[in-house]
Amino acid sequence: MDHLLDQASKENGIDVYACVTALRQSRMNMVQSVEQYKFIHLAVLEAHTVGSTNSSAAEFMSLYSALNRRSSVSPQTVFSEQTEILNSISQSPSEEETGIARRAENSKKNRTEILPDNRHLMFLQMPFNERNDYINAVQVPGYKGKDNFVATQWPLEDTVVDFWRLAKDHSVQHIILLEELNGFPKILPESGKTENFGGIDVYCKETEQNDTLVSYTVHFPEDTAEVVYMNTNTEETSFTGQIINVVMLKTPLTNQSIIDVRSKLGLSACSTSTNCTVVCTDGAKLCGLFIAALNILDMVDAENEVDVFYGVQQIKVVRPEFVQSQEQFLQLYDLVKTYLKQKNPSKPN
């Protein structure tokens, strides 16, 4: 990268192929895959068109004001320019790259035309009632690149069972339902009851409700055990297996609701329980905004740095339909502004 950027500034052009060839003549193990080769091109493009996009948290307010001004090379604001660049360098996967989702037996399981790339597809692991291993869900990197998130569509009537298979197979710890969708297939039992979804029993209990969200805990009854307390000689059902924390938003996804859900579930850079499934209608529009938001806030907490552009680009590699609008891109900047004010209330705006 350093060589290519230096070449660009000196020669007003670059030759990635020649650079990689020279590197591999010295060390054969360098740049071994097509993905790495593509990444070099994208990284050079980003560096050339956008430049540095990060700032310290202390400098963020000044950066925020500057991004609202017009770009030096176009009549657009820098916000608009960065949104366009993000969308232009995030290529939609080809038909071949989404081939698994397009198979006849799988296509009926897709709610929209937003399909998972084969490379990032989450597979269901355990055979179940002759159902196959497909679900429209993708693995999404969290802060520092770990695959902490799963983004998935709201299940269809026939795929609710696959949604719960996903939760069991991948030991999901948190489920965040970003919309309260009336008229869509039911995926949670009534509080205090067990319901069977296609062969999987799910028990749900409401734990909290306020104006913006409802919280539940979910267990799978097959994981329960009867415990006898010796000194009282009474039996009590104790859940000994997987416990899932579920949050469902009752209002549109705002900056404050993102901050509140993150705090409630302990979803931060230092958390050890971030195996989290995020759900919205199409598995993209709101999922992308929420996951990008958490990754950006994790960077703020861990490094005292802000890089909204990188936070979005990092996940658009997985699903280009994440954060496509300037409105959502702006919301992420506003989110950081809100978060920093709450984190440091004594500092001036």
Query: Domains plus CATH for the chain?
Result: 1-49 (no CATH), 99-343 (3.90.190.10)
234-239 and 224-229: which strand pairing?
antiparallel
What is the share, in percent, of the chain residues with pLDDT greater than 90?
A: 56
User: What was the pLDDT predicted at 226?
Assistant: 47
Cα–Cα nearest to 197, from 277, 245, 133, 129: 129
Inter-residue contact 163 to 124 (CB < 8 Å)? no
Lowest mean per-residue pLDDT among 91-95, 103-107, 174-178 = 91-95
Q: What is the pLDDT of residues 332-345, one digit of tens each?
A: 999 999 999 998 87
- Pairwise pLDDT comparison (165 vs 72), residue with the higher score: 165
Query: Which single residue is written with the structure tokens 């039992």?
Result: 189
Question: In the predicted model, what is the mean pLDDT of residues 300-323?
Answer: 94
Q: What is the pLDDT of residues 108-138, one digit of tens each?
A: 999 999 999 999 999 999 889 889 999 999 9
Cα–Cα nearest to 206, from 270, 143, 140, 250: 250
Q: What are phi and psi of 239, to 5 degrees?
A: -85, 115
Q: What is the pLDDT of residues 37-87, one digit of tens each?
A: 666 666 666 655 556 778 898 898 888 887 776 655 555 777 788 888 888
Give the predicted TM-score (pTM) of the model. Answer: 0.84
Cα–Cα nearest to 170, from 74, 27, 275, 325: 275
Inter-residue contact 131 to 162 (CB < 8 Å)? yes
Q: What is the pLDDT of residues 168-227, one digit of tens each?
A: 999 999 999 999 888 899 999 999 999 999 999 999 999 999 999 999 999 998 765 544
